[in-house]
Amino acid sequence: MSSILKNKKIIVGTTGSIAAYKTPLLVRELMRASAHVNVVMTPSAKNFVTPMVLENLSRSAVACEMFDEAVQSEGAWHIQLAHWADLMIIAPCSATTLGRLANGICDTSLATVATALPTGVPMLIAPSMDTDMWVNPATQRNVRLLKEYGYMIIPPGDGQLSSGLVGLGRLPDIPVLMNYIKDAFTDSPNRFPLDESLLQGKKVIITAGSTVEKIDDVRYITNHSTGKMGYALAAAAKEAGADVTLISGPVHIDAPSAVNIINVTTAEEMFNASVKEFADTDIAIMAAAVADYTPANPANGKIKKDGSGNNMTLELKETKDILAHLGANKTGSQIVIGFALESEKEIEYGRKKLEKKNCNMIVVNSATAPRSGFGGDDNTISILKKNTDEVKSFEPASKIVCARGIVKEIVGL
């Protein structure tokens, strides 16, 4: 658990529910997992747990009152805090706070921070209340709305309630909450869709798959790329509202809906298509595994063995470097993203590629990690950006999860 949550920035919200006595236990477990925690309370939550307890456990000031001077360090503190977070969880969440969030009513510090949370930052809500309140049509309507907004609703448990009744409404135990938090960091983009306004009006080109370099009419040079990462990026960029053109080498997967497809075969064809489309593109994501070399003199027909037992020498020449060309010719308003598949010294080599190819960002793939590289449905990536030494490493996740994370980072550029 600690490897997933280490250095993750998490906002914990708590509300006026008897289950608020579990909030300190959740904060303690997150701190044990080496996460950074800030707590936000509703005023009524102070009837069940004190700010001092949560401040001591989180080692941070607790925000409760909207205009508390203790948290007014950077102007609009709720905006600063919301943009600081990698994830927010409200546990427990009362029926009242459910209603506030569903209807955009920002009359508490907690509701204000939650509403200010940037799109794509996971929001987990763990409702806790008596059964009759939980099944009330108004509560269920609010839950449906929040799910439509992309919030993850953690189902309440079934059992003995503080009222003495037995039924749904219990706040799940801490290990259950911790598992949801862990899952959110690996699967959150599947649960929290990208807002279509993020890249609205932007033209994005994405290269995907491998290229095929002819030796003769029946043989060729290629690699094991399936195109899954590039196709996932096309789907994520489209989800974020972009006008997407996918320049694809030969693949065996279905194209995302509502994207423009340009099918190519060779590295030369991919170079020409990329350069042509780049002229009026805002963002270029070069995810294809383009052949570095191509046969200098491809043969017509099939090369036959002569039976002499001698080796055949195949002369190769370098292909044109698409990423370097786009990086060298981009304008100040264009963004170029490259990929680097490395088997050793991944970050060092990725940073060299970032500088050499004049990219805005490089996505480093590990060729040796168990859930990474060609062929599979998962990937293990790190992101490097120009003019910063920061390395943002992602836990192993599905390629669509990685794609949405990459798009979110691009928006941040």
DSSP string, 202-229: -EEEEEESB--EESSSS-EE--S--SHH
**Structure tokens given for 3:** 């490897």
The active-site residue, picked from 223, 260, 263, 358, is 223
DSSP string, 150-169: TPEEPPPEEEE-TTS-EEEE
CB 91 within 8 A of CB 73: no
Phi, psi (deg, nearest 5) at residue 272: -60, -45
Counting Cβ atoms within 10 Å, is residue 115 exposed (0-12), middle (13-18) or buried (19+)? Answer: middle
Which of 42, 55, 40 lies closest to 16 in space, CA to CA? 42
Q: How far is CA 129 from the centre of its chain?
A: 32
CB 327 within 8 A of CB 275: no
Half-sphere exposure of 331 (CA within 13 A, CB side): 8
Is residue 250 classed as helix, strand or coil in its secondary structure?
coil
CA distances from 142 to 97, 136, 184, 266 (A): 10, 10, 21, 53
223 is a catalytic site residue: yes
Neighbouring C-beta atoms of residue 251, cutoff 10 Å:
17
Query: Which residues neighbour 252 within 8 Å (Cβ) at sequence distance 6 or greater?
Result: 226
Catalytic annotation, residues:
223
